[in-house]
Amino acid sequence: MTNNTPALHDLTVAQLATHLRERKVSAVETAQHFLTRLQANAPLGAFLDLNEEVTLAQARAADAALAAGASGTTAALLGVPIGHKDIFVTKDFVTTAGSKMLIGYRSPFDATVVTNLAQAGVVTLGKLNCDEFAMGSANENSAYGPVQNPWDRTRTPGGSSGGSAAAVAARLVPAATGTDTGGSIRQPASFCGITGIKPTYGRASRYGMVAFASSLDQAGPMARTAEDCALLLSAMCGPDPDRDSTSLEVPVEDFSRSLNESIAGLRIGVPAEFFGEGLAPDVQAAVQAALKEYEKLGAKLVPITLPRTELSIPVYYVIAPAEASSNLSRFDGVKFGHRAEKYTDLIDMYKKTRAEGFGDEVKRRIMIGAYVLSHGYYDAYYLQAQKIRRMIADDFQQAFQVCDVIAGPVAPTVAWTLGGHGNDPLADYLADIFTLPASLAGLPGMSIPVGFGAGHMPVGMQLIGNYLQEAKLLNVAHRFQQATDWHTAKPEGF
């Protein structure tokens, strides 16, 4: 590395991959550099597990492949280190899903997303903190402590992929995996000033993702740029019919193929419901400034309406807990995970194991889910929620008849202080109002940094596309990032 070369941690994924291919730096040197950084910044709370021996072994294998002449798409990510959200099972690292229920658990296999990225030559640095079983909007529900936002350590990085977002923003990793059930990639990306994308439901296999809500959970990448996300998403996605019945039978796609296409004439839908009461003025100003930048790039703003936006909160918080109550029934202390030490009989073991192993938010959602699925309430709550979910998806299809992408805020405010919502879970739920609709419809959505709001905290803008339109979304984001430099800003001290 020459004196004129930026520090390794300041390089994007694309830049770092080029340095590795050109042998300006080795994969081992790169891995060691990031291991040193993340260990020095352990108080941030982003990482839950490291395995330096495994990380360096993967780096040595990448160096061998690079030395053997790997090139082209097979070397697009070779040797690049990333972190995995602790919701993906990994055989070489402990997987806890942020819960005491899985303390010390080591899976006998890797999640498909982890396997796909490993086959692309990515080096795993470790596992990243998250809200317990991905349930939360602030990363305060982790059994292993909250993650701090590197822009202001008194504030939340967002959730549930808060560890991933904070680690990328603090330059502890070039990129990370995340999962998005109701906004858990987009909201923390917004709060931490990075880029993140949730692909179309079914694009990435859910096999090996610890399940929260099976009809909503979807994996995606979190990085500093849309270009980086395109490279990572290309490696992550692909059909997995033998192990995930919800996996889409669509071929592997190069999402970076159209990154430099003109967006002149692009129709950007601006939903009236995303700019009403409850949206903080500082967030609104940053998003509107970004929309004006798009107009300078040749795009056209089109007023649209998504009339059932407000209904997305009650719909989501019926459907997601219902699925969670079913998925989490497997954690009973019998086959794996935590088991209570003292109990009188099998039922007592179940009760004490689950009481000890689950945190308050998980218990709350299990109880809500069991209630709405119970006899006498299924039709009144769960069935009605599913009907409205279909209507929300129809609203988007009506909108896409007059626009190509939809844009608006990711969250109503910038990141709040840790503990700022106190014991009011409803405040966290309301913060997801702009991300929930796309999740319920299964549409791809992403967050890109577009400025700063109160307290000099990052503001993200959400871009939503139609089904399987990830390449278009990424290009729209990339063109904005070519014209602006919000994505290059980094927290002081990192």
The residues that are catalytic are 85, 160, 184
Angular region, 278: left φ>0, alpha ψ -120 to 50, beta rest: left
Sequential DSSP letters for 74-141: GGSSTT-EEEEETTB--SSS---TTSGGGTT---SS--HHHHHHHHTTPEEEEEE--SGGG--SSS--
The amino acid occupying position 238 is G
- Residue 467 structure tokens: 């089904």
Q: Kindly give the pairing relationship between strand 458-464 and strand 218-223.
A: unpaired
- Residue 468 structure tokens: 């399987």
Q: How far, in Å, CA of 361 to CA of 273, rounded?
A: 29
Query: What letters, b where the CB count within 10 A reaches 16 and e where it falls short, cover 384-406?
Result: ebeebbeebbebbeebbeebbbb
Count of beta carbons in the 10 Å neighbourhood of residue 431: 26
Closest CA to 44 of 224, 165, 137, 159: 165
Closest CA to 156 of 175, 181, 130: 130
Q: Residue 36, class by beta-carbon neighbours within 10 Å (0-12 exposed, 13-18 middle, 19+ buried)?
A: exposed
| In contact, 357 and 337? CB cutoff 8 Å | yes
386 φ/ψ angles, rounded to the nearest 5 degrees: -65, -35
Q: How far, in Å, CA of 63 to CA of 29, rounded?
A: 10
